[in-house]
Amino acid sequence: MSAPSISPLAPKGGFPDLPAIAGVRYAAAAAGIRYKGRDDVMLIEIAPGASVAGVFTTSSTRAAPVLDCEIKLATQPDGLDAGFAIIVNSGNANAFTGHAGQKTVDDVTHEVAAMLALPQSHVFSASTGVIGQPLPSERIIHALATLRGGLSADAIEAAARAFMTTDTFAKGAGAQVEVDGHIVKIAGIAKGSGMIAPDMATMLVYIFTDAKISQLNAVTFNAITVDGDTSTSDTLMIAATGVVEMPEITSVTSTAGIAFAQALGTVMKDLALQVVRDGEGATKLVEVRVTGATSDADAVKVARSIANSPLVKTAIAGEDPNWGRIVMAVGKSGAVADRDLLKISFGDVLVAEKGWVSATYSEEAGAAYMRNEELLLDVDLGLGAGSATVWTCDLTHAYITINADYRS
Amino acid sequence: MSAPSISPLAPKGGFPDLPAIAGVRYAAAAAGIRYKGRDDVMLIEIAPGASVAGVFTTSSTRAAPVLDCEIKLATQPDGLDAGFAIIVNSGNANAFTGHAGQKTVDDVTHEVAAMLALPQSHVFSASTGVIGQPLPSERIIHALATLRGGLSADAIEAAARAFMTTDTFAKGAGAQVEVDGHIVKIAGIAKGSGMIAPDMATMLVYIFTDAKISQLNAVTFNAITVDGDTSTSDTLMIAATGVVEMPEITSVTSTAGIAFAQALGTVMKDLALQVVRDGEGATKLVEVRVTGATSDADAVKVARSIANSPLVKTAIAGEDPNWGRIVMAVGKSGAVADRDLLKISFGDVLVAEKGWVSATYSEEAGAAYMRNEELLLDVDLGLGAGSATVWTCDLTHAYITINADYRS
């Protein structure tokens, strides 16, 4: 696979400066799993005293590393104060690889555990790339010494580059926030070049913080909705090293918990939007904002129906203000809607209201707006207080080119 | 819009010879609604003594003609032995056109009723084309005299051509079947160039028979599943003229009812497959057959998840035997599935079983199969007796080209 050019929607400043997280070190190496001339494996070491949490794809065909992570997280020995490690490779997803797939996970996490003197139950893995081909674990194991030698608090960008697949840029986001008078740092990386549902390419997200958090699941995932029903390997893990001398955050409803969750949410949204910005072949970043639904659930239905519609997405690619396709997407969403109360705006341009095109709308104004790189599609159902926002990208010729020939 | 070249999947023999249905006459004309140099309006006259039935899109933003048809069918005066008429235009969907849209329907059906001496409640209309622009009813009304002059039992192909939009060929199907010793004829036409759900272009289907049927809804739609949750205008209407001297068919479970419903089902499937064969930009016709599900409903979920996946459809366009994407689509379908019981075949080529690629599979055999124009994707979940079949087509560059610039 030749290196694709960087998405036109990539953040202009390149990879951000992320805060170093005390207790976390990163390394990357070239194991030669599938790609040539680039790193394809990364190792993250987390110091003793940390806590970890994770959410994973709900796919019924999820990959061996996902199943292994789920089991390990569910059966952590109480009171074990060892560190953790995360080992991730690109090029091969180790998905639908039968029982050999689990053996590969065992072999790799066993070797990482031995090398870093960790219990194997504290070593998590992920794999992303082609499905259904055996993952050559020996190549990863052969690269472990190089990875250990390279571990550094400053190598997060190298780690982010090593797990890219069809990604055209490395994705990172960070935050510093005052919690109970203490400065807490958050740094995260992600891979994925997604069209949002359906059929997002595998998304892997790793987030680190030096905050002291005792109920990590409660404080993080309960406060933030994660949509992981897509690929066979989607993984989101968070580690809190607890290095900051501060009272433990134990609840998401405490002042400290709220402050931390807000900062974490900002980092997660930043990473998720970068994944959309790297949508395969994308040239437009589109925010679909739905208001006035009878419930938030209905608003989500409408927003997804619009955001996932190939007809809407191709119209956006063609810079065509084809609001008729939005009307169609609202109609087929299954949500309660009234044709004559619907109001559609493209940014500040009011397009349709009262069951018809707006008296103030001109096709020229609509077409001019659609030439923007970032677009807001605003749909007011006029019925209630339900609202939702979904981000998506356009559907272009480049998407077909990338995906009709991904494995070559 | 320039005329697209005919789909490579179009039936090789061109428009079929359809049986004339005693009591039904067709006409087409050029009203100049949007397209130049082609017919864009068609009229169908059905003789007194007929019965009609219809099913329509469930979209909450359905078009004015659909709402009008629904009301008229629900409020037919008892015992009124008048004929019927159907007037259909292409180029403009009269959808999301506010209250003016209903007035257009009233004006057109009023004029047709007056011209043919029918009650207005017996005149049905449909419109297909762009959404949200006023339909110039005067152009249709101006063409009515020409239409009346052209009414002919043999003009069904001209009618099928007049309501094409992005269709690249006219679609017709027919059958003759012996029912209770009487030869019964069925002839149907359709327009639509669909990707199946989601986002099928408007599908309009009109089917005519000379059979004598008293409970038309029960005998037809109850026996056949119709999926109409897509566009703002999807319409399927059936008219039975009852010209054949035969005992009335009153039940779908009678011998006569079963014989008729089977023939009708064949015609409907033929028309539906022609719509898939005319999928925008399609180069492959794909049958997705799912067996071994815990229920038929689960099988449908899996079949649709595969058939609607942009990643599966682009792989097919690229002739890539990328069965990993099928595994992914099974996993995200929401149906009960067990990764290690899944069995996937491409035609006769067994690809994957027991959670991994089949020992007998070769990439060469898979790639050779994918070069066929018609493909069978066979997925056995290995769990139960639930099954489903869905047809779809590939997702190509031409789809993007067609839909990024539909309105120009």
Q: Lowest-confidence range among A56-60, A380-384, B282-286, B343-347?
A: A56-60
Measured between alpha carbons, how far is residue A175 from residues A104, A250, A353, B111 in Å? 36, 20, 41, 68
Q: What tokens appear for A165 in the block?
A: 């697949």
Tell whether B133 is within 8 A of chain A (Cβ): yes
Chain A contacts in chain B segment 356-375 (CB below 8 A)? 356-357
At B279 the pLDDT is: 86
Segment B87-114 shows an average pLDDT of 95
B134: left (phi over 0), alpha (psi -120 to 50) or beta: beta
pLDDT: is A408 or B82 the higher one?
B82
- Indicate the length of chain B as a whole number: 408
Distance CA A21, CA A261 (A): 17
pTM of the model: 0.87
A393, amino acid identity: C
What is the pLDDT confidence band of residue B355, given thresholds at 50, 70 and 90?
Answer: confident
Q: What tokens appear for B304 in the block?
A: 């649709």
Interface test with B, best of A60, A342, A381 (most B CBs within 10 A): A60
Interface test with A, best of B56, B61, B290, B351 (most A CBs within 10 A): B61
CA max distance for chain A: 71
CA-nearest of B68, B325, B42, B331 to A407 is: B325
At A221 the pLDDT is: 59
Rg (alpha carbons) of chain A, rounded to whole number: 22
CA-nearest of B116, B58, B59, B56 to B87 is: B116
pLDDT averaged over every residue in chain B: 90
Which residues neighbour B183 within 8 Å (Cβ) at sequence distance 6 or greater? B176, B177, B244
- Interface touch A328/B61, C-beta < 8 Å: yes
Question: Is the peptide bond preceding residue B198 cis, with omega within 30 degrees of 0?
Answer: yes
Q: What tokens appear for B222 in the block?
A: 């109850």
Q: Are the C-beta atoms of residues A401 and A282 closer than 8 Å to each other? A: no
At B404 the pLDDT is: 83
At B308 the pLDDT is: 84
At B140 the pLDDT is: 98
Does residue B371 register a pLDDT over 90? yes
At B228 the pLDDT is: 38
Q: ipTM more than 0.90? A: no
Segment B52-57 shows an average pLDDT of 88
- Interface touch B328/A231, C-beta < 8 Å: yes
Question: pLDDT tens digit string along B245-257?
Answer: 999 998 888 999 9
CA-nearest of A195, A230, A204 to A398 is: A195
Question: pLDDT tens digit string along A134-179?
Answer: 999 999 999 999 999 999 999 999 999 999 998 999 999 999 999 9
Q: Are the C-beta atoms of residues B204 and B237 closer than 8 Å to each other? A: no
CA-nearest of A329, A213, A7, A220 to B131 is: A329
Measured between alpha carbons, how far is residue B214 from residues A365, B205, B207, B304 in Å? 54, 21, 16, 35
Question: pLDDT tens digit string along B158-208?
Answer: 999 999 998 999 999 999 999 989 999 999 999 987 654 445 568 899 999
Which residues of chain A are under the pLDDT cut of 50?
A: 1-3, 196-199, 225-229, 408
Residue A403 DSSP class: H
* Chain A nearest-CA residue for B59: A331
One-letter-per-residue 3-state SS of A78-135: CCCCCCEEEEEEEEECCCCCHHHHHHHHHHHHHHHHHHHCCCHHHEEEEEEEECCCCC
Chain A contacts in chain B segment 242-301 (CB below 8 A)? none
At B220 the pLDDT is: 65
* A chain contacts of residue B405, beta-carbon cutoff 8 Å: 318, 320
The Cα of B333 is separated from the nearest Cα of chain A by a number of Å equal to 8
Does residue B62 register a pLDDT over 90? no
pLDDT: is A80 or B286 the higher one?
B286
Q: What tokens appear for A180 in the block?
A: 């109970």
Q: Are the C-beta atoms of residues A402 and B322 closer than 8 Å to each other? A: no
Q: Are the C-beta atoms of residues B366 and B323 closer than 8 Å to each other? A: yes
Distance CA A15, CA A31 (A): 23
